[in-house]
Chains A and B, each alone.
Chain A
Amino acid sequence: MGLTVDLKYLFEGGNSLEVGFALPSDYSGITVLFGPSGSGKSTLLHFLAGIKKPDSGIIRCGRQTWFDSSQKENWPPQNRSLGLLFQEYPLFPHLTISANIGYGLNRLPLPEKRDRIRFWIDHLHLQRKEDRYPNALSGGERQRVALAQTMAPQPDLVLLDEPFSALDRPMRSDMRGVVKRTICDTGKAGILVTHDLADALALGDHIIILSEGKILQEGSPLEIFSRPALSSVAKIVGVENLHPARTIETIDGMTALAVGKGKLFAVGLVDQFAVVAPKQECFISFRAEEVILERGKPRQSSARNHLSGTVQEIVSTGAQIRVIIDCGFSLAASITKQAAEDLSLRPGAEITAVIKASAIQILPSE
């Protein structure tokens, strides 16, 4: 299933959506449309589903052209062979669970329809619930029925519109696993809309970053989250250390940068944004997990950045501890609880932050 999307749409308030991306014909797995609220993710999904109509552009899925403004072509949702799992799990309240799962199977012969319903009831552990109505189910059961309803007609493409946003944490994690297994086991392609970082990381095989109606970057989760191409992408994907900087000099592929009152070295990276002219305004970004904290005498190491500073704040974030250090600029480090205890960290303590030059990403000023 290949997908080509190139669309333009002007919202009533004056904002616009202008997106273009393509998924190869042998693509299977989940593509995540990731971005803050109001970036146009759900609208884009509704365009793909045919529920909303873009102003202009083209949507091609496989050999079918679902939408082409130049040819005045616009296929209705009924003909697009896709599934859409809505955020609200809209099950038909007047139909039993079996009838809900079989709602999209009306073209199948009755025995095949029964088998398909039975398969999804067993697959998603909904046995003994088939004759109940949606109101009699728990939240988790309703979600599984909605997933079964979406998947039962075996759509070529499955669209997921923030399907976990209304769930509590354990249920969210459980449902993520069910969705991932269901889509990947059947070899289908899925497009997930989310603004939740954990959803994107847990499910995404390919991530598209969308902000203010435009695609900022796309790539694998590792690429996007460890090497954001723009400071706005770094901000969206929650990179903890994102600071304005100014280049001082570049020697042997290594760039010295002034960051606040501090100084950092970064490796000039082999991408279009790495070649930085002297005294140029830019941004640096690195993840809090890349920072090593040391106390006592500085030791010899291969890391190029040893920044002395004072602990300002210590925040527990579940299994990890977030330490904010003033070292000429505000630096965030993420360490384990045990490490924090071993270092006897407390606000005001002197500390050295160690960062490898290769962990620091130089980003252009936007």
Chain B
Amino acid sequence: MNWDAFWLSMKLASITSIILLCIGLPLAYWIARSSWRWKFLIEAVVALPIVLPPTVLGFYLLTAMGSRSFLGRFYQEMTGSPLAFTFGGLVVASIFYSLPFTIQPLSMAFSAVDECLIQNAWVLGRSRWMTFLTVILPLSYRGVITAFILSFAHTVGEFGVVLMVGGNIPGITRTISIDLYDQVQALNDQGASETALFLLVFSFLFLSLVYFIDRKKDRKRVTVQFD
């Protein structure tokens, strides 16, 4: 088990999930509440990484981060270093790749909040922002936790996009899933099986946590129904 790769993956997943939550909360709220007629296009763009091969996403991101693109040049001029094949580049790529796993649970949770409660908060004098903080967010906390867990787990397990955008630089862009690939290539069966088992147990535990949270929500619904 390569612990450097493990901690790099944890660092990447933590930073990505926190940034995704900051981007995801307003975006998911807008998706849940907006009646804009072209909203479906934004929803489709957000969901693209679910169906798009990771290599395709990785290719476009690599092109966008390259020194020939406007974005790549702009970043390099501002920071003095390129974005591609760096940890920063991996974070950007992971944000795009895991975006649907944050947005979908959040927008579902926001949509489930009774419109009457929101209108009641407005009529009682609370601003839209305070209504979000005091009514919508507390009633959607399970969706927020699920979004965080799913984006974290998905980032830990990503392979194709990381390989395309980050390459395989030890300590900088070599994540745990890339390390597993390296071990298989080097015929290190013992190391590969340890890493694979770790990733399997990790994913299982995270998904169990998501379903556990959902089960609690279902119980709550039943309680309310029969009250």
By a beta-carbon cutoff of 8 Å, the part of chain A in contact with chain B is 49-51, 76-78, 80, 82-84, 86, 88, 90, 92-94, 103-104, 106-107, 135, 149, 153
Residue of B nearest to A46 (CB): B119
Residue of A nearest to B138 (CB): A94
Instruction: List B residues 100-149 near A (Cβ within 8 Å).
Output: 114, 116-117, 119-127, 130, 134-135, 138-139
Among A88, A90, A94, A153, the one with the most B-chain Cβ atoms within 10 Å of its Cβ is A90
Name A135's contact: one of B119, B120, B223 (CB within 8 Å).
B223
B127 touches A86 (CB 8 A): no
A94-B138, A135-B227 known; A51 vs B119 contact (CB < 8 Å): yes
Residues on the A chain within 8 Å of B124, using CB? 83, 103-104, 149, 153
B126 touches A93 (CB 8 A): no
A154 and B193 alpha carbons, distance in the complex (Å): 68
B123 touches A92 (CB 8 A): no
Give the dominant DSSP class at A's interface. Answer: loop
A78 touches B122 (CB 8 A): yes
Name A90's contact: one of B114, B125, B130, B138 (CB within 8 Å).
B114
Least CB distance, B125 to chain A, in whole angstroms = 5
Name A86's contact: one of B116, B134, B227 (CB within 8 Å).
B116
A77 touches B227 (CB 8 A): no
Least CB distance, A79 to chain B, in whole angstroms = 8
B224 touches A135 (CB 8 A): yes
Residues on the A chain within 8 Å of B119, using CB? 49, 51, 77, 84, 86, 90
A153 and B223 alpha carbons, distance in the complex (Å): 31
The interface on chain B, measured as residues whose beta carbon lies within 8 A of the other chain's beta carbons, has a size of 20
A317 and B126 alpha carbons, distance in the complex (Å): 47
Residues on the B chain within 8 Å of A149, using CB? 120, 124
Least CB distance, B194 to chain A, in whole angstroms = 44
B117 touches A77 (CB 8 A): no
A88 and B117 alpha carbons, distance in the complex (Å): 10
A77 touches B223 (CB 8 A): no
By a beta-carbon cutoff of 8 Å, the part of chain B in contact with chain A is 114, 116-117, 119-127, 130, 134-135, 138-139, 223-224, 227
Beyond A90-B119, A135-B224, A149-B120, 10 additional contacts (C-beta under 8 Å) are A49-B123, A84-B119, A84-B123, A86-B120, A88-B114, A90-B120, A94-B139, A103-B126, A104-B126, A106-B126
Residue of A nearest to B117 (CB): A90
Least CB distance, B97 to chain A, in whole angstroms = 33
Per CB-CB distance, the 5 closest pairs between chain A and chain B, nearest first, are: A104-B124, A90-B116, A77-B122, A84-B123, A77-B123
A130 and B63 alpha carbons, distance in the complex (Å): 60
Residues on the A chain within 8 Å of B114, using CB? 88, 90
A86-B116, A94-B138, A135-B227 known; A76 vs B122 contact (CB < 8 Å): yes
A121 and B21 alpha carbons, distance in the complex (Å): 39
Residues on the A chain within 8 Å of B123, using CB? 49-51, 77-78, 80, 82-84
Name B125's contact: one of A49, A135, A153 (CB within 8 Å).
A153
Residues on the B chain within 8 Å of A94, using CB? 138-139
Residues on the B chain within 8 Å of A104, using CB? 124-126
A135 and B139 alpha carbons, distance in the complex (Å): 14
Residues on the B chain within 8 Å of A80, using CB? 123
Name A106's contact: one of B120, B122, B125, B138 (CB within 8 Å).
B125
A92 touches B117 (CB 8 A): yes
Least CB distance, A108 to chain B, in whole angstroms = 11
Least CB distance, A248 to chain B, in whole angstroms = 56
A94-B138, A135-B223, A135-B224 known; A78 vs B120 contact (CB < 8 Å): no
Residues on the A chain within 8 Å of B227, using CB? 135
A135 and B223 alpha carbons, distance in the complex (Å): 8
Residue of B nearest to A142 (CB): B227
